[in-house]
Amino acid sequence: MNTLYGLDVLREHDFDVLRGKRVGIITNYSGVSSDLKPNVELMLETGIRVVKIFTPEHGFFGASDGLEIKDTIHPKYRIKMVSLYGSKKAPTEEDLEDIDILVYDIQDVGLRFYTFIYTLAYSLESASKYGISYVVLDRPNPLSGETIIGPRILDNLNSFVGGYKLPTRYGLTAGELALYYCKLKRLDLDLTVIRMKNWTRDMYYPDTGLLWNVPSPNLPTFSSVICYAGMCFIEATNISEGRGTTKPFEYIGAPWIDEDLVFEEMKKENFPDVAFRKRYFIPEFSKYKGEICRGLEFFPLNYRADFIKVALSFISIVARRFPEHFSYRRYNEVTRINLLIGDEETEKDILEGRNWKEIYERWRNDEEEFKEFIEDLMLY
Protein backbone atom coordinates (compact mmCIF):
# COMPACT_ATOMS: atom_id res chain seq x y z
CA MET A 1 0.00 0.00 0.00
CA ASN A 2 1.46 3.35 -1.06
CA THR A 3 2.33 6.04 1.44
CA LEU A 4 -0.04 9.02 1.58
CA TYR A 5 1.47 12.45 2.17
CA GLY A 6 0.08 14.77 4.82
CA LEU A 7 -1.38 16.71 1.88
CA ASP A 8 -3.34 13.61 0.82
CA VAL A 9 -4.65 13.10 4.34
CA LEU A 10 -5.74 16.74 4.66
CA ARG A 11 -7.41 16.45 1.27
CA GLU A 12 -9.33 13.39 2.49
CA HIS A 13 -10.67 15.61 5.27
CA ASP A 14 -11.67 18.36 2.83
CA PHE A 15 -8.90 20.67 4.12
CA ASP A 16 -10.97 21.12 7.28
CA VAL A 17 -8.26 22.80 9.42
CA LEU A 18 -7.83 25.52 6.80
CA ARG A 19 -11.45 26.22 5.96
CA GLY A 20 -12.58 29.77 6.62
CA LYS A 21 -9.02 30.98 7.28
CA ARG A 22 -6.61 33.17 5.37
CA VAL A 23 -3.82 30.80 4.43
CA GLY A 24 -0.15 31.46 3.73
CA ILE A 25 1.53 28.39 2.25
CA ILE A 26 5.28 27.74 2.36
CA THR A 27 5.93 25.48 -0.61
CA ASN A 28 7.56 24.93 -4.00
CA TYR A 29 7.50 22.56 -6.97
CA SER A 30 7.64 19.53 -4.62
CA GLY A 31 4.26 20.35 -3.04
CA VAL A 32 2.20 17.76 -4.90
CA SER A 33 -0.21 15.04 -3.81
CA SER A 34 0.50 11.35 -4.32
CA ASP A 35 -1.42 11.60 -7.61
CA LEU A 36 0.79 14.55 -8.63
CA LYS A 37 -1.68 17.41 -8.20
CA PRO A 38 -0.28 20.75 -6.93
CA ASN A 39 -1.20 21.66 -3.35
CA VAL A 40 -2.19 25.25 -4.09
CA GLU A 41 -4.43 24.17 -6.95
CA LEU A 42 -6.14 21.55 -4.79
CA MET A 43 -6.76 24.11 -2.06
CA LEU A 44 -8.13 26.76 -4.41
CA GLU A 45 -10.42 24.25 -6.13
CA THR A 46 -12.05 23.38 -2.82
CA GLY A 47 -12.54 26.98 -1.73
CA ILE A 48 -9.54 27.40 0.57
CA ARG A 49 -8.47 31.03 0.67
CA VAL A 50 -4.75 30.99 -0.15
CA VAL A 51 -3.69 34.62 0.14
CA LYS A 52 0.10 34.29 -0.05
CA ILE A 53 2.76 31.80 -1.15
CA PHE A 54 6.17 31.77 0.58
CA THR A 55 9.07 30.14 -1.27
CA PRO A 56 12.44 28.70 -0.08
CA GLU A 57 15.75 28.37 -1.96
CA HIS A 58 15.21 27.72 -5.69
CA GLY A 59 11.89 29.56 -5.45
CA PHE A 60 8.57 28.11 -6.57
CA PHE A 61 9.77 26.89 -9.95
CA GLY A 62 13.26 25.44 -9.36
CA ALA A 63 15.85 28.14 -10.07
CA SER A 64 19.55 27.30 -10.09
CA ASP A 65 21.61 27.00 -6.90
CA GLY A 66 22.40 30.15 -4.97
CA LEU A 67 20.28 32.54 -7.02
CA GLU A 68 18.57 35.20 -4.94
CA ILE A 69 14.82 34.81 -5.44
CA LYS A 70 12.71 37.96 -5.56
CA ASP A 71 9.05 38.50 -4.62
CA THR A 72 6.67 38.13 -7.53
CA ILE A 73 3.12 37.13 -8.52
CA HIS A 74 2.28 33.57 -9.52
CA PRO A 75 1.53 33.64 -13.27
CA LYS A 76 -1.51 31.36 -13.00
CA TYR A 77 -2.96 31.84 -9.52
CA ARG A 78 -2.24 35.60 -9.39
CA ILE A 79 -1.23 35.16 -5.75
CA LYS A 80 1.70 37.10 -4.27
CA MET A 81 4.81 34.96 -3.81
CA VAL A 82 7.16 36.09 -1.03
CA SER A 83 10.74 34.87 -1.23
CA LEU A 84 12.39 33.52 1.91
CA TYR A 85 15.69 33.13 0.05
CA GLY A 86 16.70 36.66 -0.78
CA SER A 87 16.83 39.78 1.33
CA LYS A 88 15.12 37.91 4.18
CA LYS A 89 14.97 34.33 5.40
CA ALA A 90 11.85 34.51 7.58
CA PRO A 91 8.36 36.02 7.22
CA THR A 92 8.09 39.50 8.72
CA GLU A 93 5.21 40.91 10.74
CA GLU A 94 4.07 42.75 7.62
CA ASP A 95 4.16 39.50 5.59
CA LEU A 96 1.87 37.84 8.14
CA GLU A 97 -0.59 40.66 8.89
CA ASP A 98 -3.23 39.27 6.49
CA ILE A 99 -2.67 35.60 7.40
CA ASP A 100 -4.40 33.43 10.00
CA ILE A 101 -2.47 30.21 9.44
CA LEU A 102 0.80 29.12 7.83
CA VAL A 103 1.08 25.78 6.03
CA TYR A 104 4.43 24.13 5.33
CA ASP A 105 4.51 21.55 2.50
CA ILE A 106 7.98 20.88 1.04
CA GLN A 107 9.86 17.65 0.33
CA ASP A 108 12.93 17.33 2.56
CA VAL A 109 16.02 15.12 2.07
CA GLY A 110 16.83 14.33 5.70
CA LEU A 111 20.21 16.10 5.83
CA ARG A 112 21.28 18.97 8.08
CA PHE A 113 22.84 21.09 5.34
CA TYR A 114 19.65 21.30 3.25
CA THR A 115 18.32 24.85 3.43
CA PHE A 116 14.59 24.06 3.31
CA ILE A 117 14.67 22.88 6.92
CA TYR A 118 15.85 26.34 8.05
CA THR A 119 13.01 27.95 6.15
CA LEU A 120 10.84 25.67 8.32
CA ALA A 121 12.69 26.68 11.51
CA TYR A 122 12.68 30.43 10.83
CA SER A 123 9.02 30.49 9.79
CA LEU A 124 8.04 28.56 12.95
CA GLU A 125 9.84 31.20 15.00
CA SER A 126 8.02 33.98 13.12
CA ALA A 127 4.68 32.26 13.66
CA SER A 128 5.42 31.96 17.38
CA LYS A 129 6.49 35.60 17.62
CA TYR A 130 3.44 36.99 15.82
CA GLY A 131 0.77 34.57 17.08
CA ILE A 132 0.09 32.74 13.81
CA SER A 133 -1.14 29.14 13.78
CA TYR A 134 1.04 26.65 11.90
CA VAL A 135 0.35 23.39 10.04
CA VAL A 136 2.98 21.01 8.67
CA LEU A 137 1.83 18.62 5.95
CA ASP A 138 4.18 15.74 6.61
CA ARG A 139 6.30 14.02 3.96
CA PRO A 140 8.75 11.10 4.13
CA ASN A 141 12.36 11.42 5.11
CA PRO A 142 13.81 9.86 1.92
CA LEU A 143 16.74 8.40 3.88
CA SER A 144 14.43 6.70 6.42
CA GLY A 145 13.67 7.55 10.02
CA GLU A 146 16.13 5.13 11.57
CA THR A 147 19.64 6.32 10.69
CA ILE A 148 21.30 9.11 12.67
CA ILE A 149 24.91 10.03 11.85
CA GLY A 150 27.16 12.92 12.71
CA PRO A 151 27.96 15.46 15.39
CA ARG A 152 25.34 17.88 16.68
CA ILE A 153 26.48 21.08 15.03
CA LEU A 154 28.27 23.54 17.30
CA ASP A 155 26.46 26.80 18.08
CA ASN A 156 29.34 28.88 16.74
CA LEU A 157 28.97 27.16 13.35
CA ASN A 158 25.27 27.98 12.91
CA SER A 159 24.41 29.11 9.39
CA PHE A 160 21.74 28.61 6.73
CA VAL A 161 23.39 25.28 5.89
CA GLY A 162 23.46 23.99 9.45
CA GLY A 163 22.14 24.79 12.88
CA TYR A 164 19.80 23.98 15.77
CA LYS A 165 22.08 21.26 17.19
CA LEU A 166 21.13 18.82 14.42
CA PRO A 167 23.38 15.88 13.43
CA THR A 168 24.21 15.40 9.75
CA ARG A 169 21.54 12.73 9.20
CA TYR A 170 18.77 13.31 11.72
CA GLY A 171 16.17 10.65 10.85
CA LEU A 172 13.10 12.88 11.29
CA THR A 173 10.24 13.75 8.98
CA ALA A 174 9.39 17.41 8.37
CA GLY A 175 6.60 17.22 10.95
CA GLU A 176 8.86 15.65 13.57
CA LEU A 177 11.50 18.24 12.76
CA ALA A 178 8.97 21.01 13.46
CA LEU A 179 8.26 19.41 16.84
CA TYR A 180 12.02 19.25 17.46
CA TYR A 181 12.47 22.96 16.76
CA CYS A 182 9.59 23.82 19.07
CA LYS A 183 11.05 21.71 21.87
CA LEU A 184 14.63 22.93 21.37
CA LYS A 185 13.64 26.62 21.18
CA ARG A 186 10.69 26.35 23.60
CA LEU A 187 8.40 27.99 21.06
CA ASP A 188 4.92 28.98 22.19
CA LEU A 189 3.00 27.96 19.09
CA ASP A 190 -0.29 26.49 17.89
CA LEU A 191 1.31 23.73 15.79
CA THR A 192 -0.54 20.92 13.99
CA VAL A 193 1.21 18.13 12.08
CA ILE A 194 -0.93 16.32 9.52
CA ARG A 195 0.59 12.85 9.63
CA MET A 196 1.21 10.59 6.66
CA LYS A 197 -0.48 7.23 6.27
CA ASN A 198 1.32 3.98 5.47
CA TRP A 199 4.81 5.21 6.35
CA THR A 200 7.13 3.52 8.86
CA ARG A 201 10.56 4.55 10.09
CA ASP A 202 12.41 1.83 8.20
CA MET A 203 11.19 3.10 4.81
CA TYR A 204 13.47 4.70 2.27
CA TYR A 205 11.73 6.75 -0.41
CA PRO A 206 11.45 3.93 -2.99
CA ASP A 207 9.70 1.80 -0.33
CA THR A 208 6.79 4.27 -0.26
CA GLY A 209 5.53 3.34 -3.73
CA LEU A 210 5.50 7.04 -4.63
CA LEU A 211 7.12 8.54 -7.71
CA TRP A 212 10.38 10.35 -6.99
CA ASN A 213 9.60 13.93 -6.00
CA VAL A 214 12.67 15.98 -7.05
CA PRO A 215 13.54 18.14 -4.01
CA SER A 216 15.98 20.47 -5.82
CA PRO A 217 17.65 20.85 -9.24
CA ASN A 218 20.84 18.97 -8.30
CA LEU A 219 19.04 15.98 -6.79
CA PRO A 220 17.24 14.57 -9.84
CA THR A 221 17.16 10.96 -8.61
CA PHE A 222 16.99 9.08 -5.33
CA SER A 223 20.49 7.76 -6.09
CA SER A 224 21.79 11.34 -6.11
CA VAL A 225 20.31 11.92 -2.64
CA ILE A 226 22.08 8.85 -1.24
CA CYS A 227 25.37 10.18 -2.60
CA TYR A 228 24.61 13.77 -1.51
CA ALA A 229 24.47 12.60 2.13
CA GLY A 230 28.28 12.60 2.14
CA MET A 231 29.41 14.07 -1.14
CA CYS A 232 28.01 17.45 -0.13
CA PHE A 233 31.23 17.72 1.90
CA ILE A 234 33.12 17.90 -1.42
CA GLU A 235 31.55 21.36 -1.88
CA ALA A 236 33.84 22.58 0.89
CA THR A 237 36.97 21.65 -1.10
CA ASN A 238 38.48 22.57 -4.45
CA ILE A 239 37.32 19.20 -5.85
CA SER A 240 34.29 19.22 -8.17
CA GLU A 241 31.21 17.54 -6.66
CA GLY A 242 29.78 17.12 -10.16
CA ARG A 243 27.63 20.25 -10.27
CA GLY A 244 27.23 21.22 -13.89
CA THR A 245 26.99 17.58 -15.01
CA THR A 246 24.09 15.17 -15.42
CA LYS A 247 25.13 13.33 -12.24
CA PRO A 248 25.84 15.82 -9.43
CA PHE A 249 27.30 14.21 -6.29
CA GLU A 250 27.96 11.03 -8.28
CA TYR A 251 30.79 12.39 -10.46
CA ILE A 252 33.66 13.54 -8.21
CA GLY A 253 37.01 14.83 -9.46
CA ALA A 254 39.35 17.63 -10.53
CA PRO A 255 41.76 18.29 -13.43
CA TRP A 256 44.77 17.65 -11.18
CA ILE A 257 43.65 14.28 -9.75
CA ASP A 258 45.21 11.01 -10.90
CA GLU A 259 42.12 8.81 -11.14
CA ASP A 260 44.17 5.58 -11.27
CA LEU A 261 45.80 6.33 -7.95
CA VAL A 262 42.53 7.37 -6.26
CA PHE A 263 40.72 4.33 -7.65
CA GLU A 264 43.29 1.94 -6.17
CA GLU A 265 43.25 3.75 -2.80
CA MET A 266 39.44 3.70 -2.62
CA LYS A 267 39.40 -0.04 -3.38
CA LYS A 268 41.39 -0.60 -0.17
CA GLU A 269 38.60 1.06 1.86
CA ASN A 270 36.27 -1.87 1.13
CA PHE A 271 32.79 -0.30 0.99
CA PRO A 272 30.54 -3.26 0.07
CA ASP A 273 27.44 -1.10 -0.54
CA VAL A 274 29.20 1.17 -3.05
CA ALA A 275 30.54 0.65 -6.56
CA PHE A 276 32.73 3.13 -8.43
CA ARG A 277 34.57 3.46 -11.72
CA LYS A 278 37.20 5.79 -13.14
CA ARG A 279 35.49 8.75 -14.78
CA TYR A 280 36.38 11.82 -16.82
CA PHE A 281 33.74 14.57 -16.92
CA ILE A 282 33.38 18.20 -18.00
CA PRO A 283 31.19 20.49 -15.86
CA GLU A 284 29.00 22.91 -17.81
CA PHE A 285 29.00 25.30 -14.83
CA SER A 286 30.36 25.60 -11.28
CA LYS A 287 33.91 24.44 -10.41
CA TYR A 288 36.17 23.74 -13.38
CA LYS A 289 33.58 24.84 -15.91
CA GLY A 290 34.61 23.58 -19.35
CA GLU A 291 37.65 21.71 -18.02
CA ILE A 292 38.26 17.96 -18.09
CA CYS A 293 37.97 16.60 -14.55
CA ARG A 294 39.56 13.29 -13.64
CA GLY A 295 38.05 11.22 -10.84
CA LEU A 296 35.43 8.63 -10.03
CA GLU A 297 31.77 7.96 -10.66
CA PHE A 298 29.95 6.45 -7.67
CA PHE A 299 26.99 4.05 -7.55
CA PRO A 300 25.07 3.15 -4.37
CA LEU A 301 24.30 -0.58 -4.50
CA ASN A 302 21.47 -0.36 -1.97
CA TYR A 303 19.50 2.26 -0.05
CA ARG A 304 21.61 1.87 3.07
CA ALA A 305 24.90 2.82 1.43
CA ASP A 306 26.56 5.34 3.74
CA PHE A 307 28.24 8.02 1.65
CA ILE A 308 29.35 10.05 4.65
CA LYS A 309 32.14 7.55 5.30
CA VAL A 310 32.81 7.33 1.54
CA ALA A 311 33.21 11.12 1.27
CA LEU A 312 35.50 11.30 4.32
CA SER A 313 37.71 8.61 2.80
CA PHE A 314 37.78 10.19 -0.66
CA ILE A 315 38.72 13.65 0.66
CA SER A 316 41.37 12.14 2.92
CA ILE A 317 42.96 10.23 0.03
CA VAL A 318 43.03 13.27 -2.25
CA ALA A 319 44.33 15.58 0.51
CA ARG A 320 47.09 13.11 1.36
CA ARG A 321 48.13 12.22 -2.20
CA PHE A 322 47.81 15.65 -3.83
CA PRO A 323 48.78 18.11 -1.05
CA GLU A 324 50.21 20.61 -3.55
CA HIS A 325 46.77 20.98 -5.15
CA PHE A 326 44.16 20.18 -2.49
CA SER A 327 42.60 22.90 -0.36
CA TYR A 328 39.55 23.59 1.77
CA ARG A 329 37.31 26.49 0.80
CA ARG A 330 36.43 29.23 3.26
CA TYR A 331 33.18 31.12 3.84
CA ASN A 332 33.16 34.32 5.90
CA GLU A 333 36.51 33.37 7.46
CA VAL A 334 35.22 29.91 8.47
CA THR A 335 36.47 26.72 6.85
CA ARG A 336 33.36 25.67 4.95
CA ILE A 337 33.72 21.97 5.74
CA ASN A 338 33.19 22.83 9.42
CA LEU A 339 29.83 24.38 8.54
CA LEU A 340 28.81 21.24 6.61
CA ILE A 341 30.15 18.59 8.99
CA GLY A 342 29.29 20.55 12.13
CA ASP A 343 32.46 20.35 14.17
CA GLU A 344 35.97 21.83 14.13
CA GLU A 345 37.99 18.62 14.41
CA THR A 346 37.12 16.59 11.33
CA GLU A 347 38.91 18.95 8.90
CA LYS A 348 42.15 18.26 10.77
CA ASP A 349 41.42 14.53 11.06
CA ILE A 350 41.11 14.32 7.27
CA LEU A 351 44.39 16.14 6.64
CA GLU A 352 46.15 13.95 9.21
CA GLY A 353 44.85 10.81 7.51
CA ARG A 354 42.62 9.51 10.31
CA ASN A 355 40.26 6.70 9.31
CA TRP A 356 36.53 7.37 9.06
CA LYS A 357 35.99 4.82 11.86
CA GLU A 358 37.89 7.04 14.31
CA ILE A 359 35.81 10.04 13.25
CA TYR A 360 32.56 8.09 13.64
CA GLU A 361 33.60 6.99 17.11
CA ARG A 362 34.08 10.61 18.16
CA TRP A 363 30.57 11.44 16.91
CA ARG A 364 28.88 8.64 18.86
CA ASN A 365 28.10 10.60 22.05
CA ASP A 366 26.38 13.37 20.10
CA GLU A 367 24.30 10.84 18.19
CA GLU A 368 23.13 9.16 21.41
CA GLU A 369 22.33 12.52 23.00
CA PHE A 370 20.24 13.49 19.98
CA LYS A 371 18.36 10.16 19.97
CA GLU A 372 17.46 10.68 23.62
CA PHE A 373 16.27 14.24 22.95
CA ILE A 374 13.91 13.23 20.11
CA GLU A 375 12.50 10.11 21.77
CA ASP A 376 9.18 11.79 22.62
CA LEU A 377 8.82 13.47 19.21
CA MET A 378 8.40 10.37 17.04
CA LEU A 379 5.07 10.31 15.20
CA TYR A 380 5.57 6.95 13.46
Domain contains 372: no
Residues 290 and 242 in one domain: yes
Domain contains 369: no
Q: Which residues lie across from 218 on neighbouring strands?
A: none
pLDDT for position 62 = 83
What does DSSP assign to residue 216? Answer: S
CATH of residue 201's domain is 3.40.50.12170
Q: Are 271 and 309 in contact (CB under 8 A)?
A: yes
For the chain, the average pLDDT equals 96
Burial class (CB in 10 A: 0-12, 13-18, 19+), 110: buried
Distances (CA, A) of 312 to 15, 256, 350: 45, 19, 7
Q: What are phi and psi of 97, to 5 degrees?
A: -65, -25
**What's the total number of domains in the chain?**
2
Residues 204 and 230 in one domain: no
Query: 343 lies in which domain range?
Result: 222-363
Rounded distance between C-alpha atoms, residue 92 and residue 127, angstroms: 9
Rounded distance between C-alpha atoms, residue 23 and residue 103, angstroms: 7
Residues 147 and 251 in one domain: no
Rounded distance between C-alpha atoms, residue 365 and residue 140, angstroms: 26
Domain contains 240: yes
pLDDT > 70: percent of the chain: 100
Residues 196 and 74 in one domain: yes
pLDDT exceeds 90 at position 12: yes
Q: What average pLDDT does range 219-243 have in this prediction?
A: 97
DSSP 44-106: HHTT-EEEEEEE-TTTTTTPPTTPPPPPEE-TTT--EEEESSSS-SS--HHHHTT-SEEEEE-
pLDDT digits (tens, 9 = 90+) for 62-100: 887 777 889 999 999 999 999 999 889 999 999 999 999
> Three-class SS of residue 250?
coil
Residues 201 and 299 in one domain: no
pLDDT digits (tens, 9 = 90+) for 184-222: 999 999 999 999 999 999 999 999 999 999 999 999 999
Domain contains 67: yes
Residues 246 and 174 in one domain: no
- Among 224, 74, 236, 262, which Cα is nearest to 159's? 236
Q: What average pLDDT does range 344-367 have in this prediction?
A: 94
pLDDT for position 329 = 92
Q: Are 245 and 251 in contact (CB under 8 A)?
A: yes
Domain contains 187: yes
Q: Are 346 and 359 in contact (CB under 8 A)?
A: yes
Residues 231 and 310 in one domain: yes
